[in-house]
Amino acid sequence: MSRTEKCKEVFEELFGGEPATMESGNDPELMIILQRFIFGEVFETGVLDKKMRELLTVACLAAMQTLPQLKAHTQAAINVGNSPLEIREAVYQCAPFIGFPRTLNAVSAVNEVFLDNGISLPLPAQGKAEEGERYEKGLAVQFLLYGNEIKEKYAGLPDGNGEALPRFLTEVCFGDFYTRGVLGVQERELLMLAVLASLGADTQIKAHVAGNLKAGNSRETLYAAMVQCLPYIGFPAAFNAINIIKSVDSSQG
């Protein structure tokens, strides 16, 4: 099957329509180039299934705040079999990495698509850590992946910040989000690697490569995830992340 034929097949599955032709819109050439590359080639590269490809895309687009494309790929994620809860968790998980305002923008865009599909809101709650156990449950996840690195690194900050900052990370990032239902730690780590690649956060990419390997994601899966992100974040950011993945010694995972 040629990439043009594959593009048509994948595009129909994701979006329920026909890919662009020279008679499509005001910039048909650009649409043809990007669609044949993304859906005719990238979707055929690596070990990921279509559900994870779309969740990764949703996470990237949320991080970059490209909300029209986020809406389109939310629909695509539904069309390939992701549940509304899975899509919501992929966006919620972005909050500690991109901040709450951008996460709220992304949630609003995703919810518009849910309502258009007749999906009742709010979706069922998925929080698993009660108020008094956020630190304990968060630390149980964090320590297995990252040990005490952050606590030790920032211990010397003055005015109580050296205690507060690591505690916030444990309670919010890991306690409030990583412990939630529907998606497991392995899936959340992979999604956040895509977010960090979108942000160009090199130091955190390196740490989360090791975290991904500890969580059970293979290096092949990490490479495939970066290839999936490539059309959305660009070649420089994708190559940068891939080079970091290559640089992390297996023993760190």
Interhelix angle for 3-15 vs 50-64, to 10°?
Answer: 70
Q: Which tokens belong to 95?
A: 């909050």
Alpha carbon of residue 10 to chain centroid: 21
Q: Which amino acid, 230?
A: L
Reduced 3-state DSSP string for 174-201: HHHHHCCCCCCHHHHHHHHHHHHHHHCC
pLDDT digits (tens, 9 = 90+) for 81-101: 999 999 999 999 999 999 999
CA dihedral 167, 169, 173, 176 (to 10 degrees): 20
pLDDT digits (tens, 9 = 90+) for 167-219: 999 999 999 999 999 999 999 999 999 999 999 999 999 999 999 999 999 99
Return d(Cα 39, Cα 43) in angstroms, integer.
5
Give the confidence band of 253 by pLDDT, cuts at 50, 70, 90. low
Nearest to 217 by CA among 52, 106, 25: 52
pLDDT digits (tens, 9 = 90+) for 104-142: 999 999 999 999 999 999 999 999 999 999 999 999 999
Q: Which amino acid, 195?
A: V
Q: Which tokens belong to 237?
A: 């950011």
196: phi then psi, degrees, rounded to nearest 5:
-65, -35
Q: What is the pTM of this model?
A: 0.95
Going by the DSSP 8-state scheme, the letter that residue 20 receives in this structure is: P
Q: Which tokens belong to 193?
A: 């690697």
Helices (H), 49-160: 50-64, 67-79, 84-92, 95-98, 100-116, 134-146, 149-153
